[in-house]
Structure 1
Amino acid sequence: MAEHNDDAFSDDGLHFDDAQLEAALSDFEKEFQEQETSQDHGSDEAGVADSGSDDSDMVHAAEDALRFDEDLEGLLGNRAKVAMLITRITAAELLAAFCQISDISATCVESHQGAVALLHNLDGDGPEAAARDLTQVVSGLGVILAVNRADKLETTVYLDGNAGQTMAPPIVFTTTEPFVEDLMLGIDTPQGVIDSGRPVHESGDLTTEQAYDVLAKYLHTKWH
């Protein structure tokens, strides 16, 4: 008959002796360390993911801040929402060449009523400077500068580097294609006009030499 071991179990059969208790504690400690290691590894991975997320959030925040600054400048009138030079030049390529040699950055859009230069520099008096420069460089060329500042529309005739008569925008719009009015009123965007499939030419895509080659091709034939 097996002997009853009082050291191994108490009468209720639920208590460990010292050796069993030590072994149980050792197993528990080992399991706890393994769990901590697993959690630390997961935290490291989460930290990497959080770092990537933080970088993305910072980029979006910077973009939002830039858009806010531009919108604020537009509301204050320090930056035009849109500005364009309306001409009677039939070819957008020719207008882009004129803009290039006049050091004007613009997207030139072809139109049956005359090509239009959508100005890139909308800060301060940048649009007015562009109108002066273009009409000074191209002697005899008259343009209408149309500007939207803080939702106030202004259309002014420029000739030989000087501002002339101010015209009522609705009158100007009767002599232009609908996209001009849509842009000025904020109904459309420059990118929307480009995406519409109209022929467009960027003045910045031309070198000075290329611009003069374009002038030689069009002069006396399509410029009037």
Structure 2
Amino acid sequence: MADDTNKPDGPDGSPSSDNSGFDGTSGASDNLNGDDLHFNDAELEAAMADFEREFNQDTAGDNAGSGSPDSGNSDDTTDSPIADHTSESDVPDASDIEDLDNAANGAQARESVIETSFDDELQGLLGNKAKAAVIITRLTSAELLAAFCQLSDISAICLDDPQGAVAVLRNLNGDGPEAAAKDLTTVVSGMPAVLVVNRADKLEATMYLLGETRDNFAPPLLFSAAAPFVEDLMLGITPLDDILADNTSYDAAALTREQALAILARHTKFGRGNSSIA
């Protein structure tokens, strides 16, 4: 028998259709018409506003939790102790620069001393520069001999000795020692002096008087009659510094002409028609 039961009308007065399937599931998806798939402009704008608001909230939450990678790296680089330490250590201060300059100057000074010593040794071996040279006198005062050397423009260190004062010459180049002996015996007229020179390990001893050479002596004989330190110095046995430490010495280069004349006046005795040196 046919079902005459009328179905309730829909909101628009049309009969409502049964949207229930055989298995009890909703069949609405199967019965949607084309109009149900479209939004009006108001609904579309509202959906886009909701989507934009949710996106902004999510982005703000991520930034608050982790921070911007770029800004974080910039802050870390600026505030990092490692960066500060690196910038401070990379810039040397004034003391470091001064230490480097002193070290460089010290190295240059050592190189200069080594080069000078090597050149002196080479010239000594070639005989162009004496290894040592002394002038032996019979003066009883090294101070007086230093005054005579100053007046003769001779650079020397004079040492006291009971057997006679000795002048250790500084100018050893070429014929410097011979020129010194000539000048000294010329300025101090009548005073003999013996020049002893070591050139290329060869010793020579020559007497000078009035600026001229006189006699030559055998060094061993001369050493026996001279101050004990003369042989040690000429043979290189004892350094000059050690000899100066054990003997009274006077530096002629440290005297002025006025001081030299004053020393000469103290040691000179004037008598009737003659004078003598004490």
**Aligned position for 2:265:** 216
Counterparts of 1:71 and 1:20, CA distance in 2: 76
Shifted more, 37-46 versus 81-90: the winner is 37-46
In the alignment, which residue of structure 1 is the partner of 2:85?
A: 38
Distance in 2, matches of 1:213 and 1:114, equals 21
1:167 Cα deviation (Å)? 1.4
Please name the residue that 2:141 is paired with.
91
The gaps in structure 2 that reach 5 residues or longer are 1-57, 59-64, 270-274
Q: Aligned pair count?
A: 209
Note the alpha carbon deviations across 1:78-135, whole angstroms, 9 max, x for none: 2222111001111111111211221111111111110001111111111100000111
Q: Which SS does the other structure have where 2:92 is aligned?
A: helix
Counterpart check, 1:202 vs 2:274: no
| 2:25 equivalent in structure 1 | none
Match of 2:107 among 54, 57, 69: 57
Matched with 2:131 is 81
Decide whether aligned partners of structure 1 residues 59 and 43 sit closer, same or farther in structure 2, where only a CA change above 3 A counts: farther
Aligned to 1:70: 120
Work out whether 1:100 is the aligned partner of 2:150: yes
Q: Does the 8 Å contact 2:196/2:203 carry over to 1? A: yes
Summarize the Cα distance change of 1:42–1:105 in structure 2 as closer, same or farther, 3 Å threshold: same
How far apart are 1:29 and its partner, in Å?
4.2
Distance 1:211 1:91 in 2: 13
> 1:214 & 1:108 partners in 2: Cα distance?
14
* Identity rate, percent: 44
CA RMSD of aligned residues (A): 2.9
Q: Confirm or deny: 8 A CA contact 1:91 1:222 kept in the other structure.
A: no
- Shift of residue 64 of structure 1? 2.4
Partner of 1:12: none
Q: 1:50 to 1:193 in 2, by over 3 A?
A: same
- Aligned-partner Cα distance in 2 for 1:156–1:71: 24
**Higher RCO structure, 1 or 2 (CA under 8 Å, sep 6+):** 1
Task: State how 1:89-168 maps to structure 2 within 5 Å.
Answer: 89-168=139-218
Check conservation: 1:83, 1:119, Cα contact below 8 A. yes
1:180 equivalent in structure 2 = 230
Give the direction of change, closer, same or farther, for the CA distance of 1:67–1:164 in structure 2 (3 Å limit).
Answer: same
- 1:15 corresponds to which residue? none
Deviations 1:29-55 (A, max 9, x none): 4577x5344234324338624444223
TM-score, normalised on structure 2? 0.65
Compared CA separation, residues 35 and 173, structure 1 to 2 (3 A): same
The CA deviation at 1:25 is: 4.7
Q: Distance in 2 between matches of 1:69 and 1:86?
A: 28
The list of structure 1 runs, each at least 4 consecutive aligned residues, that deviate by more than 6 angstroms after superposition, is none
Q: Which amino acid aligns with 2:86?
A: Q
Contact 2:205 2:216 in 1 (8 A): yes
Deviation at 1:191, TM superposition (A): 2.0
SS at match of 2:91: helix
Deviation of 1:207 (Å): 2.5
